[in-house]
Amino acid sequence: MREPVVVGNWKMHTTLAEARSLAEGIRNGCRGLAGVRVVLCPPFTALATVSEVLAGSGILLGAQDCHWATQGAYTGAVSPVQVADAGARVVILGHSERRALFAETDEIVGQKVAAALAAGLVPLVCVGERAAERQAGRTGAVGERQVRAGLEGRSAEEIGRAWLAYEPVWAIGTSQAATPAQAAEVHARLREILVEVATSAVAERCPILYGGSVRPDLAPGLFAEPDVDGGLVGGASLKALDFIGIVRAAPSAKGRAGVPTR
């Protein structure tokens, strides 16, 4: 059985004080909840602050991106070594906003995956189609291209340390989430591709998350699908109660969650 994973991507939100308050609320609300891995991905500026809040809680710290080099003359960039040094254990790579707004290609994402693995991080590799690509019937082809660019050619052991997130670009930041059936179809295909680039054992163990307007009311239906192993949560992760509601919707979540204090 794959343990569900719920990741909060705070994007370019929160001051240090806001990040501390939000992390405390989520930490307290998830206290006593087992059977689900929770990851918080604040902006780079808040990594150290959130790391302090999460210490000893079992909630993992993640980063929203990293560079492909360990160091160098890359003004404004943050290396995977620096991300790990700040306490992060997971890093989001290939998010659709990075691909669209910062012109990140499949090749760049592949370089970042390699660098993250070398630094001991878990790369959460994002894949997904735009609205025009879905309408043209290219959803599967886009996902396959992006997965292969990110993972193909690496050892099964390396691929086994990666996670995937399916984020239909047309659903991000909107009220139009994919239906459970739509998500299940794509996730099943992504798992088939993992068999091809790695092994069936790796594919069976790999968490594949759904991202794209994940809300507390939609999470139970999405998470009920066998190949949907949790969520990559954007806007709803900025409200502690909403995010905790999504975490509690994970099939393996058990225990009694506390009440957020903030």
CA distance 85 to 66: 12
- Residue 225, phi then psi, degrees to nearest 5: -75, 130
Is 67 tagged catalytic?
Answer: no
- DSSP letter (8 states) at residue 82: H
Query: Are residues 61 and 91 in contact, defined by beta-carbon separation less than 8 angstroms?
Result: no
Instruction: Exactly one of 24, 97, 144, 167 is catalytic; name it.
Output: 167
For residue 95, indicate whether it is catalytic.
yes
Which alpha helices (H) appear in 34-138, and where do they start and end? 47-54, 80-85, 96-101, 106-118, 131-135
Cα 117 → chain centroid = 15
Of 95, 104, 144, 187, catalytic: 95
Residues with Cβ within 8 Å of residue 14, at least 6 apart in sequence = 22, 42, 43, 46, 238
Given a contact cutoff of 8 angstroms between Cβ atoms, the answer to whether 230 and 5 are in contact is yes
CA 201 from chain centre, in angstroms, equals: 21
Tell me, what amino acid is at 24? Answer: E
79 vs 92: CA distance, rounded Å:
13
- The residues carrying an active-site annotation are 95, 167
